[in-house]
Structure 1
Amino acid sequence: MTWIAALPMYNVTPALDLEWREWLDDVVRRVKPACRIVEPDEELPGFWRRPNLLLSQTCGYPLMHGLHEQVQLIATPRFDAPGCEGAHYSSVLVTRADAQFDTLAACRGARAAYNQDDSNSGMNVFRHAVAPHSRAGMFFSAVLRTGSHLGSLRAVADNRADVAAVDCVTFAFVGDVMPDLARRVRAIGMTAASPGLPLIASGTVPPATIEALREALNETLEIRPERAKRLRLQGFSVLPLTDYERIEQLENEARAAGYARLG
């Protein structure tokens, strides 16, 4: 079997994408030298289910909606970013720098942007934050699906939307490498926290290889600390799947409040 690996989640710019690929290459060469680093050539839910997947990163929402039955948790990164606490993270509620909104409650009737329907950080925690303010399941005048956190930030900055929830790690990277975009938006709050985006492997990967991957993750931070700093990586935590039930809890609380979907 030819193993494959990919990190599709935090590639904000081509330069940052290259940093992630170099780090990933260092990790997998310590474990499976024959592993190929690839660009996913299909929708991510299908890619994550490949039996030869050695290492990738997923969102906690699809993980808890069926993906956990076919993959193993390797570890969850601990990032150095405002809004992160250990292996848990929140999303930043953002509006335009010159917008009139100062709180999420003030955004009633405004236009929302979100990245994907199966995103915890862009949809699920956003829905949870809005739910207490909703009336008859409604809050916004319009909702735009953008396809990515970067797309949501640009929609807000370009006045195609008024508010979005953006993964705090992505938001920190945008501040690092896209300062012009960062200056065009501002934070008006934070969402509830939940476990961060986990690193996963196919269920076919042997337990000894999972342990070797965990060792390699930390080794690569130690040998290149300057790269780890640029990637905002502080370390890794091995979380049980039960910790990710927090994501379902947030979803259930929004539904119980009568707010089943962004709207």
Structure 2
Amino acid sequence: METTQSLKADERRERIREALLCGKPIVIGELARRFAVSEMTVRRDLQRLEDSGEVRRTHGGAVPTERMLFEFDFAARRSQYRAAKRTIAAEAVTRIEPGQRLILDNGTTTLELAMLLKDFPELTVVTPSLAVAAVLQFSEGIDTILLGGLLRRGHAELTGIVTEKILSMFSVDIAFQGADGIGLDGRLYTGDPRVAEVDRRIRSCAARTYVLADSSKVGQTALLVHGSLAEAEALITDAAVRDEDCAALEKTGVAVIRAEG
């Protein structure tokens, strides 16, 4: 049994979060024994987590809320291939000049790009991503336009007919978007039909589009085709992409940029 008597309240609550996200049952009596505290102390911990919207109390324990599961899932997706995504974002930012109008699509790679733009001067950024908007909201040199639309359950992004209609109002210099998969014939894939239509509209209102996707997406497919790399200026991926995959894409006339770390 681990020694947890010296754990502070915030450390106990973090252990409770970890147990919930690992699918372990949360029972007050067991937690009290594990942490060597009273059941009343555990109840106070669970009350704090419930007040913050992370758990829902049950008889004798607690279960995670949708918000907690969403935040964990988003953090896990963002951390996956994080180094590659940062390298791709660093390459993408070299295509941007002050005074330009941009669209940053949903996705964890475009979010890494947004992190690099925070101190950029004189940009206008249009986005359907709540996460991107949150990163840029206090940037003095950036005017951020958050598109309206249907908040996709379980995702920090806006989709649907409202988003599509609003996009038709804009004309931008560059769009940066991701993909759930990129076929070796250059086709772009997504798993959600609402996302597919928004991605098509994004490309239609941009003078240039760059697709940002780490090498794990190359050669993969998903439920829906929403376009082709032929509609984009280039694919920016990381150096781990296989030579044969690059060769197959380039045979279709697609420009492939390998971002070096």
Could you state the TM-score of these two structures normalised by the residue count of structure 1?
A: 0.26
Structure with the bigger RCO (C-alpha within 8 Å, sep 6+) is 1
Using structure 2 for the length normalisation, give the TM-score: 0.26
* Structure with max Cα Rg: 2
